[in-house]
Chain A
């Protein structure tokens, strides 16, 4: 479960996140929409403990992130816009390395299986990551989320730059993870993917949650209108 309570962050007096209240329950995929500079990435950084809040609190599984960021991160899997890996390592070795950093040890067979579950072609698992496309690196990121068996997943523009097929494949994987009870928070610009994948959508403007909707209640066209309306307000 991911939660923010009146979470506030300022940079040089400028408010980036303004008393943000969010709750992403297990099995939910919450899409955080908003223009550039709305505070989406800052919110993710606060939830990861990369930034300390000026007020309020970020919680992961009920525990305060600021109090013990290391412990909080052990419950979170994080997939950035660009999953940067060690280019001299293969997919399997990268997965092994990063999951070991998180204190989890897997056999080679388990690692290969995890990459397969994430949709990486079997022949690519032992190839150096330097030869991977962005979509393949995102899949290693997903495999890492699977390896950590995290209860919460933070995604920062995960489908940006992916071709439609890769983006669709990625969405299927996310839905599968949500189906397994993972709480997912996805910051994105992609209205279509948000409407397709998310269970709830929040529109962030100037660090404040301007609107929150259940995706079952809105159509794609309505979402676009709502988004623009909040931006112009």
Chain B
């Protein structure tokens, strides 16, 4: 009986031309989102591969060279050590931070105190300003709209058309009827969203991402379920299709547009980010003051190219620069720490308050699952910080002591290998978001169930 009613609801939906148009538009938006994500992921992967290949080539050349003779550490230190963030596990799912935060950095001994690189690839500024039209954008911002367009008048339309009285008179519990109708009408959109999520995993996911993909699917379905439950709750009390549509439209604006903006503003007010220029200015000031003590123009030139300093003075220039740099590093460290700490505080606050809107929770979960979220990029930055320290620890004493690098040192040279966040950590964040969304959907469902009591609904139908 249940499945027959479900099929009849689907057939009723299939008779609406507007439903087909909406499904077509949603499918197009999903495909466009995946294709955009794919282009970005491909470009980032090409850059990362080129850097990795270059680094590998250098290592081979260095090994061959060291097999014949020792090398001046300044020459190797000047070449730099590449740190590359491995490709995101599900990059097609969400661009996340990947178009803002660099996924690679070359750590050069002489520039350890300089601020970290920003992106080196060319990027359309309008993309950075408006965000990308990626799959996460379609799923978080547009998917609710398309879903609501199919379920906004679950019952309010029947109330207006007069079919509600006849339907209720048949002796079905209203909530059973509405739950079936809601699921039947939402099913095509939920299916398309689920297929798109799976497609993002199959076409762009790396190996071993089954759990991430399964969780992404669960997040997408739970997010959809939240909006269906909201439509159910609104329909339980709305007296007309127009009022139901208005209420749901307002809810979309509030939850998808206003709440995230409000949260950003609040977080920015509570934990204002020190400006990046402030960080750069602090570095310059500290550098200028330090250089005054050692100070000529020549020093500045040899600072960047100590290997070009006259024989016999190279170590002096290099040692002097390292000392200056160390002082600059010490001077700007508080500003750098403040900068990083504020960013972390902001993100922690966003994580804590993400249930203000399921849109925030869904977006955070999807970027986390894609591997393009804040926390993975932060882990990368922290590990690059570790590499900077390792580079300094390895080269500085050798340069001061004027020791050459030999074959015995080759394996000890600092190298970068990214350590992924433990699965339990990111999974914990995602499962919390998922549970929160399901709890919100459940609460709305329970509220709708209370308001779909036979007598109350009968009264609304009279």
Contact = CB atoms under 8 A, between A and B. Distances in A.
A51 B460 CA distance: 9
B458 A50 contact: yes
Interface string A46-78: 001111100000000000001001111110111
A165 interface: no
A66 B12 CA distance: 32
A167 interface: no
Given A49-B458, A51-B459, A93-B11, A98 B171 contact: no
A89 B169 contact: no
A84 to B, nearest CB: 3
Given A50-B462, A51-B458, A69-B455, A102 B162 contact: no
Contacts of A51: 455, 458-459, 462
A73 B12 contact: no
Contacts of B11: 89, 93
Interface stretch (B1-9, B247-255, B289-297): B1-9
Given A102-B171, A105-B1, A50 B459 contact: yes
A135 B404 CA distance: 103
B454 interface: yes
Interface string A31-49: 0000000000000010011
B12 A88 contact: yes
Contacts of B459: 50-52
A82 B162 CA distance: 8
Contacts of A18: none
B16 A88 contact: yes
A70 to B, nearest CB: 5
A101 interface: yes
A100 B161 contact: no
Contacts of B4: 100, 105
A175 to B, nearest CB: 22
A89 B15 contact: yes
A84 B462 CA distance: 14
B190 to A, nearest CB: 22
Contacts of A148: 170
Nearest to B6: A100
Contacts of B173: 70
A13 interface: no
A84 B163 CA distance: 5
Contacts of B258: none
Nearest to A73: B171
Given A69-B458, A97-B8, A102-B170, A50 B165 contact: yes
Nearest to A88: B15
A146 to B, nearest CB: 14
B458 A100 contact: no
Contacts of A144: 166
Given A89-B15, A93-B11, A101 B165 contact: no
Contacts of B169: 48, 73, 76-78
Contact of B177 (A74, A76, A101): A101
B75 interface: no
Contacts of A85: 163, 166
A128 to B, nearest CB: 9
Contact of B171 (A50, A86, A103, A105): A103
Contact of B8 (A52, A76, A96, A102): A96
Contact of A74 (B163, B165, B171): B171
Contacts of B114: none
B454 A84 contact: no
B153 to A, nearest CB: 13
Nearest to A101: B170
B167 interface: yes
B101 interface: no
A99 B167 CA distance: 9
A181 interface: no
A78 B166 contact: yes
Q: Which of B163, B170, B455 has the most CB of A within 10 A?
A: B170
A100 B3 CA distance: 10
Nearest to A98: B170
B168 interface: yes
B172 A86 contact: no
Nearest to A48: B169
A83 interface: yes
Contacts of B8: 93, 96-97, 100
A220 to B, nearest CB: 32
A30 to B, nearest CB: 18
Contacts of A45: 458, 462
A80 interface: yes
Given A96-B8, A98-B166, A103-B172, 14 more contacts: A45-B462, A50-B165, A66-B455, A69-B454, A69-B455, A70-B171, A70-B173, A78-B169, A84-B165, A97-B12, A101-B172, A103-B171, A105-B1, A105-B4
Interface of A: 45, 48-52, 66, 69-74, 76-78, 80, 82-86, 88-89, 93, 96-103, 105, 141, 144, 148
7 contacts: A50-B461, A76-B171, A97-B5, A98-B167, A99-B170, A101-B170, A103-B172
Interface of B: 1, 4-5, 8, 11-12, 15-16, 161-163, 165-173, 177, 454-455, 458-459, 461-462
Closest 6 CB pairs of A and B: A50-B458, A84-B162, A102-B170, A73-B171, A74-B171, A88-B15
